């Protein structure tokens, strides 16, 4: 038996309205149990294929062919390790990462970390909202500011869906992921990529370490491993009903790992397809493709993509972008609630809380579009700088997560083994160093 770090009352639970709301079978075969546990991994996978990933992956293929596929693979393996730790924290300790951090620090440090994390969520939401807004603009011709406001309305949808049950949200998110996967699989088939060259480049090549290639590789890693997913997974892993005996916890960890790794494998396939499509269709035109609008127009340009160019292909790209942005705003709203409740213990009606957290993310985007102009170029630039800030915030999530899940005080016998612990710390240190380098090199031209 593992003792809980606390005995949470209902109002102290993470996402209390859905905590432990999903029943899971205690009997039956592997597949039946896996289906019951599947769902949280899909919400987590969304963060690994959000609009922030698109430009880096597609441009990576357009500029360096299939060379950076190994970076996409390594990023996905890192994600699998960190997300399992996050889910394990929630299941074993029955607290999310925000709650654990708050309870393990003094009040001043707790508030400082909350502000840093809240800014990271705002940066994450910027990428998601911008991607969806640009997709709406490309599909319907609406002004980008209207696209931003329409995307913000997803909070109303979420309020409705939460009343219907968390499984409904999981189903919608999974469906939108399948839409994205289907569209890019279709585009990859049309592009007729060199799959032999793609397979060879799943193994790292020394050319990745050349300066310009390395910078884009760091951009792919930085856009893939983001802090908000660690908070999200540590919370929604608690939506299943788990008895507090050793056997039940072990089974919960087993099926959570299966769910997470299957969904993150799907995210890897999507990101690999993004890069493969970029390599097969746009190689040699990388310098001309710096924004979503450039990619949208290129798919209807025979001089760039050849005979397959068509308005239909451009439309499919925009639909996939809209699905990605909409999915990400749903999970971003949930994560914002997790962080606000976890760090501050502030309690307010759920509808008000979600409106506040969504407003915190939207206000900077609206101000930016009004001051600098609601153009694709301006919003794409804002997206780039939001990803830079996420690189700054990442260590504030990774190091506490690895520490908590490696501690017998919090995890008992379910603490990380030595291999996982030191692999995690090595990854965190390397990513921190690489992200610092990325930030310095990105900002250097401004000074």
So where are the chain's domains? Answer: 31-446
- Lowest mean per-residue pLDDT among 9-13, 309-313, 438-442: 9-13
- Lowest mean per-residue pLDDT among 21-25, 74-78, 129-133, 198-202: 129-133
Burial of 356 (0-12, 13-18, 19+ CB in 10 A): middle
Letter string b/e over residues 138-177, b meaning 16 or more CB atoms within 10 A of that residue's CB: bbeeeebbebbbbbbebbeebeebbeeebeebbebbbebb
**Percent of the chain's residues with pLDDT above 70:** 84
Dihedral angle of Cα 264, 270, 271, 275, to the nearest 10 degrees = 160
Whether residue 98 has pLDDT greater than 80 = yes
Report the chain's C-alpha Rg in angstroms. 21
Looking at residue 217, its pLDDT comes to 78
400 and 230 in contact (C-beta within 8 Å)? no
- The predicted-structure confidence for 370-379, as pLDDT tens digits, reads as follows 666 555 555 6
- Lowest mean per-residue pLDDT among 27-41, 185-199, 205-219, 382-396: 382-396
Looking at residue 4, its pLDDT comes to 41
Residues 6+ apart with CB under 8 A from 220: 53, 56, 57, 60, 68, 71, 72, 75
- Reported as a pLDDT band with limits 50, 70 and 90, residue 222 is low
* Average pLDDT score over residue span 217-232: 79
* Average pLDDT score over residue span 81-99: 95
Strand-pair partners of 87: none
Whether residue 108 has pLDDT greater than 70 = yes
- The predicted-structure confidence for 263-313, as pLDDT tens digits, reads as follows 999 999 999 999 999 999 988 876 677 678 888 989 988 888 888 989 999
Whether residue 321 has pLDDT greater than 70 = yes
User: 31-446, superfamily in CATH?
Assistant: Amino acid/polyamine transporter I (1.20.1740.10)
336 and 361 in contact (C-beta within 8 Å)? yes
56 and 278 in contact (C-beta within 8 Å)? no
* Average pLDDT score over residue span 417-436: 88
Average pLDDT, the chain: 83
* Average pLDDT score over residue span 318-332: 87
- The predicted-structure confidence for 238-250, as pLDDT tens digits, reads as follows 999 999 899 999 9
């Amino acid at each position: 038996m593992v003792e809980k770090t606390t005995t949470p009352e209902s109002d102290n639970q993470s996402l209390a309205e859905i905590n432990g709301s999903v029943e899971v079978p205690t009997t039956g075969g592997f597949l039946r149990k896996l289906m019951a546990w599947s769902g949280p991994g899909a919400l987590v996978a969304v963060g690994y294929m959000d609009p922030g990933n698109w430009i880096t992956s597609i441009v990576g293929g357009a500029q360096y062919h299939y060379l950076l596929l190994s970076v996409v693979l390594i990023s996905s393996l890192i994600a699998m390790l960190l997300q399992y730790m996050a889910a394990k924290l929630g299941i074993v300790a029955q607290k999310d990462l925000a709650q654990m951090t708050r309870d393990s620090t003094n009040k001043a440090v707790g508030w400082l970390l909350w502000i840093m994390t809240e800014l990271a969520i705002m940066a994450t939401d910027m990428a998601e909202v911008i991607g969806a807004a640009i997709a709406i603009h490309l599909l319907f011709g609406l002004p980008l500011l209207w696209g931003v406001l329409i995307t913000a309305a997803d909070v109303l949808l979420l309020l409705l869906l939460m009343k219907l049950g968390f499984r409904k949200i999981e189903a919608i998110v999974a469906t939108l992921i399948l839409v994205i996967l289907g569209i890019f699989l279709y585009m990859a088939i049309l592009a007729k990529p060199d799959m032999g060259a793609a397979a060879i480049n799943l193994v790292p090549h020394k050319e990745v370490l050349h300066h310009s290639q390395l910078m884009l590789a760091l951009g792919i890693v930085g856009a893939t491993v983001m802090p908000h997913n660690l908070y999200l997974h540590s919370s929604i892993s608690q939506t299943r009903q788990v008895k507090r005996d050793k056997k039940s916890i072990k089974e919960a960890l087993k099926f959570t790992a299966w769910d997470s790794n299957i969904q993150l494998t799907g995210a890897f396939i999507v990101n690999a397809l993004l890069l493969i499509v970029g390599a097969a269709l746009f190689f040699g035109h990388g310098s001309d493709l710096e924004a979503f609008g450039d990619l949208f127009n290129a798919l209807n340009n025979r001089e760039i993509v050849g005979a397959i160019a068509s308005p239909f292909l451009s439309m499919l790209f925009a639909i996939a972008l809209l699905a990605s942005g909409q999915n990400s705003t749903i999970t971003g709203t949930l994560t914002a609630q997790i962080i606000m409740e976890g760090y501050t213990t502030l309690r307010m009606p759920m509808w008000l809380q979600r409106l506040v957290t969504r407003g915190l993310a939207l206000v900077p985007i609206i101000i930016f579009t009004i001051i600098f102009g609601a153009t694709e170029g301006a919003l794409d630039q804002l997206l780039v700088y939001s990803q830079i800030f996420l690189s700054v915030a990442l260590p504030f999530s990774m190091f506490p997560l690895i520490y908590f899940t490696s501690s017998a005080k919090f995890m008992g016998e379910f603490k990380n083994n030595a291999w996982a612990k030191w692999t995690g710390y090595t990854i965190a240190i390397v990513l921190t160093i690489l992200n610092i380098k990325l930030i310095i090199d990105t900002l250097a031209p401004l000074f």
